Amino acid sequence: DQDAARIRGIKLIRCPEAVAPPVAELTIWLMISLARRLNKLAYSTRARLPSKSETIGHELLGKNLGVVGVGAVGSRVAKIAHGFGMKLLLNDIRPIDPRDYGGSEVVDLETLLKAADFITLHIPLTEETRSMLDERRLSIMKRTAYLINTSRPEIVDSKALYIALKEGWIAGAAFEVTEEWLRENPEFLELDNFICTPHIGSQTEESLRRVSISVAEKIIKEFEAPKPTSKTSQRSPRR
């Protein structure tokens, strides 16, 4: 869609700030769900009350959170997580001031993967980021680590991820998925350490309202902005 618009000279308008709050909240909820094993316990409780040993989970307090992509969503996740008492490891292609996030640490991707207890992805899907987390990178994560991806599932190599979850390379993962991805990877539904949601990150009444208003305001601003004068029109007419 972006290429088609660019070829036709159509300007694209984005509103990431309008959808950032619900996506960030979903990310935090998925982190807690993994840490407290809510996905598995919610189903098992319907059949029987689980034993105390089955209900033991983990806290977010004091854990290392690796945020890959500190844009509109990633920065909001970082600030919320800081309120939970998490230690932040940030990674982005742009310069980041760690003081904006409670004295966090800016690190390279490899360091983040090795040190984080939770890793959350907030980057666009491009040719460079497709399967960015491959078998090698998944293998260097902690065996107790959790991976959260509310961006595009294709950023992580699906075959490598399945092996990592099945063989215990990592403790669990939670992904926002598309119907197409799930149709191509049905085996993930068999895993009790994998949570998937149907691409609902921005689907709240408040977010949809903000997006509508933001798009309208930005379109109006575009029409009201002074149009650049071409070099041809600046020339004096020939005599």
Token look-up 């689980």 returns 50
Token look-up 């959170």 returns 65
Q: How confident is the model at residue 51 (pLDDT cuts 50, 70, 90)?
A: confident
3-state secondary structure the chain: CHHHHHHCCCCCCCCHHHHHHHHHHHHHHHHHHHHCCHHHHHHHHHHCCCCHHHHCCCCCCCCEEEEECCCHHHHHHHHHHHHCCCEEEEECCCCCCHHHHCCCEECCHHHHHHHCCEEEECCCCCCCCCCCECHHHHHCCCCCCEEEECCCHHHECHHHHHHHHHCCCCCEEEEECCHHHHHHCHHHHHCCCEEEECCCCCCCHHHHHHHHHHHHHHHHHHHHCCCCCCHHHHCCCCC
β-pair type (118-121, 146-149): parallel
Calculate the alpha carbon distances from 165 to 147, 174, 191, 211 in Å: 10, 11, 8, 36
β-pair type (87-91, 105-106): parallel
The rounded mean pLDDT for the chain is 89
Side chain identity at 169, as an amino acid letter?
Answer: W
Give mean pLDDT, residues 125-132.
96
pTM (2 decimals)? 0.86
Where along the chain do its domains lie?
Answer: 20-207
pLDDT higher than threshold 50 for residue 238: no
Do 211 and 15 meet the contact criterion of CB atoms below 8 Å apart? yes
Residue bearing the bigger pLDDT, 224 or 74: 74
Q: What topology is assigned to 20-207 in CATH?
A: Rossmann fold (3.40.50)
pLDDT tens sequence across 181-192: 999 999 999 999
Residue bearing the bigger pLDDT, 147 or 204: 147
pLDDT higher than threshold 50 for residue 236: no
pLDDT tens sequence across 1-34: 677 888 888 888 777 788 899 999 999 999 999 9
| pLDDT value, residue 210 | 85
Residues annotated as part of the active site: 152, 180, 199
